[in-house]
């Protein structure tokens, strides 16, 4: 079992990241995971390692660990041998050499109370805006985000919203890699409406 640190055998890591059939399992606690993690990784508590879906192990899989105690538990588990490698990030070296993401979220109440601090980025499709959107939000459908993200400004804080929170989470995962100051709105516009916060209706409600 290979345990990698720093940029040891960096070609192994880079080739792994380039493989669309690969997956990284992040065993960090939620606070560390939210701070930084490999892009598109799957978080799993080390205490639930026995519940790891078999579908993961049918793919090329690597493990990512930032906590020495968690690393020790993983190395003492038979499942460790199933991974291509284990990356020991205890010295926070991953972010020096490889792509990383972070995941930060706020709920509808947080956004409402601090609405002036954010530019709301709505990643739903344009036809969905007829069901209500937040005033002065920007609409870039997630299907067009890879092409249009450059219109976003690095000196602004963005709150990303969709219908229920699934697409916005994916958008945050992508945009965080690009250095933007960005958070996910938990529960999407549905949560915002259920809390009774104001919306505007119609296609003109969001800016292009």
Q: Which residues of the chain have pLDDT under 50?
A: 204-208
pTM of the model: 0.63
Are 92 and 170 found together in one domain? no
Are 80 and 153 found together in one domain? no
Q: How far apart are CA 153 and CA 119, in angstroms?
A: 10
Are 89 and 110 found together in one domain? no
Total domains in the chain come to 2
List the domain range (segments joined by +) for residue 174.
105-207
Q: What pLDDT score does 203 carry?
A: 54
Q: What pLDDT score does 3 carry?
A: 94
Q: What is the per-residue DSSP string for 163-186?
A: SSSHHHHHHHHHHHTTT-EEEEET
Q: Which residue has the tokens 């459908």?
A: 141
Q: What pLDDT score does 99 carry?
A: 83
Are 61 and 148 found together in one domain? no
Are 109 and 202 found together in one domain? yes
């Amino acid at each position: 079992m290979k345990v990698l640190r720093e940029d040891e055998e960096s070609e192994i890591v880079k080739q792994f990241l380039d493989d669309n059939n690969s997956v990284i399992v992040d065993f960090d606690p939620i606070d560390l995971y939210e701070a930084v993690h490999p892009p598109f990784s799957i978080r799993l508590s080390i205490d639930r390692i026995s519940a790891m879906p078999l579908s993961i192990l049918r793919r090329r899989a690597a493990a990512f660990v930032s906590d020495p105690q968690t690393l020790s538990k993983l190395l003492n588990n038979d499942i460790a041998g199933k991974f291509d490698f284990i990356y020991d990030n205890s010295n926070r070296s991953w972010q020096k050499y490889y792509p990383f993401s972070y995941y930060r979220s706020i709920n509808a109440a947080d956004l409402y109370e601090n609405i002036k601090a954010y530019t709301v980025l709505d990643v739903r499709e344009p036809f969905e805006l007829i069901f209500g959107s937040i005033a002065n939000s920007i609409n870039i459908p997630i299907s067009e985000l890879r092409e249009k993200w450059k219109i976003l400004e690095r000196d602004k804080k963005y709150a990303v919203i969709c219908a229920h929170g699934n697409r916005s989470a994916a958008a945050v995962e992508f945009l965080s890699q690009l250095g933007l100051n960005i958070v996910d709105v938990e529960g999407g516009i549905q949560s915002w409406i259920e809390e009774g916060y104001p919306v505007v209706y119609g296609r003109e409600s969001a800016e292009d």
